[in-house]
Structures are given as C-alpha cells and as structure tokens.
Amino acid sequence: MANHSQLGFQDASSPIMEELVEFHDHALMVALAICSLVLYLLALMLTEKLSSSTVDAQEIELIWTILPAIVLVLLALPSLQILYMMDEIDEPDLTLKAIGHQWYWSYEYTDFKDLTFDAYMIPTTELPLGHFRLLETDHRVVIPMESLIRIIVTAEDVLHSWAIPTLGVKTDAIPGRLNQTSFITTRPGVFYGQCSEICGANHSFMPIVVESTPLTHFESWSSTLAL
C-alpha cells in the first residue's frame, strides 16, 4: 500500500516486482554516473583546464563512441531478461479471467465450474470503518499465495488496464482481444490497484483488490463461493 508523500515504489510482493525495483536502482546508478561525468567535464571547462585549441582527438572520439554503446548494453541486458520473465507462463496453478466494463471488473475462475462475480467499488457512504476510500470493492480477487497465477485480461466496451503496482502487473484490456500475464505473490496480504487506462467519466472509480491467502483458506473460500 502506498503512503502519503512516498517517493519510491511500493514494497514488492512478487518476484517480478523485486526484479523491476532492482532494475530501477541499476538504471539510476548508470544515469548518476553519466551525470557525474558530464558535470565533471563542465567543471573542467569552466576552470579552463581543458585546451580550447584542440581540433582533432581520435582517442576521445573513440571513447565517446564506445562508452554509450557499453551503457546501452548495461541497460538492455537486464531489461530484456525481465521482459522474458514477464512473458513466461509455464503450467500455471490457477487461471483467472478479468473483464473490464464501464466501470467495474468481472472475474471468472476458469478452473472452477461456476466461480464468477462482478467487483464494484464500495461507495464512501457504505465504506466500513478502517477501509480505504475509493479502493475497496464488494468482492475481492482471492488467490493462493506462492502459486503461479495466470490472468487473462480483456474488455467488453472500451480500453481498460488491469494493474497492481505492488505485484508489478499491468496488462491492457482491449475489446475483442485476450492479453495475458502471470505473477506469484510471495506473502499473504491485500493488494490494491486501479484501472490504468482512461476509460470514461468514472475511470477513477473501478479499483482492483487482490487478496493473497494460504492455500487452505483459498480452497475454503472457493468451495463456499462456488455453491
């Protein structure tokens, strides 16, 4: 859950999000090194320690050609690794389908016969004490923790986007098309997200709530709801 005036990411709750945070820190260190080098060269120019009469320097031209290529490789390799990890879906433990509507989400647990429901935002006037305003829904997406979850995302009317920041998940919901992604929750908890694609007047009022629970609790919940 995000805090007021928070500058960094939310605490990672999935391996993918942990990798994204590490890549963010890695990219920042590379950017800091580049900025430091540029500022150092500017300082040398201001103090007139560099010769202004130099008209040809093959060594310097070679360096500023090779150095950017090395920087791009340092950024591209971990980025490609994370992209392949996000697209890899191998024998999921649970498949979930999310359908975006104006302005709510519908969910189908495809591994169960009759486990479907709609999730609407709870109005502020009906919100229980201690719950989060504009983020709570009348039905939560309950999943077993430490299990590979495959989610198929689509939309019925306009473009939507199913996103949970703490899980590192953001998948566009496009009418007539099925997009998919996967994630694993590393701890129990309740994770909040919102539609991340402007979809109309009530775009801000279609939150997403995912509850990660132990497998025994998920089995009890699913058997009760499927009746």
Provide the 8-state DSSP code for 14: S
Place 140 in a pLDDT band, splitting at 50, 70 and 90.
very high
Delineate the domains of the chain, giving CATH numbers in brackets: 15-87 (1.10.287.90), 94-225 (2.60.40.420)
Question: What's the pLDDT band for 33 if we cut at 50, 70, 90?
Answer: very high
The band of 217, judged by pLDDT with boundaries at 50, 70 and 90, is very high
- Judged by phi (left if over 0) then psi (alpha if -120 to 50, else beta), residue 180 lies in beta
By the 10 Å C-beta count (0-12 exposed, 13-18 middle, 19+ buried), 65 is classed as: exposed
Q: Quick one: pLDDT band at residue 52, thresholds 50, 70, 90?
A: low
SS3 193: strand
3-class secondary-structure state, position 194: strand
Average pLDDT of the residues in 15-25: 91
More confident residue, 54 or 88: 88
Predicted confidence at residue 193, as pLDDT, reads 93
Residue 1 has pLDDT above 80, yes or no: no
Percent of the chain at pLDDT exceeding 70: 93
> Are 136 and 196 within 8 A, CB to CB?
no
pLDDT at 42 over 90: no
190 pLDDT higher than 60? yes
User: Across all residues in the chain, what is the average pLDDT?
Assistant: 88
- pLDDT of the residue at 7: 74
Q: Locate the DSSP E strands across the chain.
A: 94-101, 104-109, 116-119, 141-144, 149-155, 160-164, 169-173, 179-183, 189-195, 207-213
Per-residue pLDDT, averaged over 204-222, amounts to 92
pLDDT digits (tens, 9 = 90+) for 177-186: 999 999 999 9
Contact by Cβ (8 Å): 30, 74: yes
Nearest of 163, 187, 216, 143 to residue 15 by alpha carbon:
187
pLDDT-based confidence at residue 128 (cuts at 50, 70, 90) = confident
Separation CA 106–CA 139 (nearest Å): 10
Q: Is the pLDDT of residue 156 over 60?
A: yes
Residue 223, sorted as left (phi over 0), alpha (psi -120 to 50) or beta, turns out to be alpha
C-alpha distances (whole Å) from 47 to each of 33, 34, 92, 161 are 21, 20, 62, 52
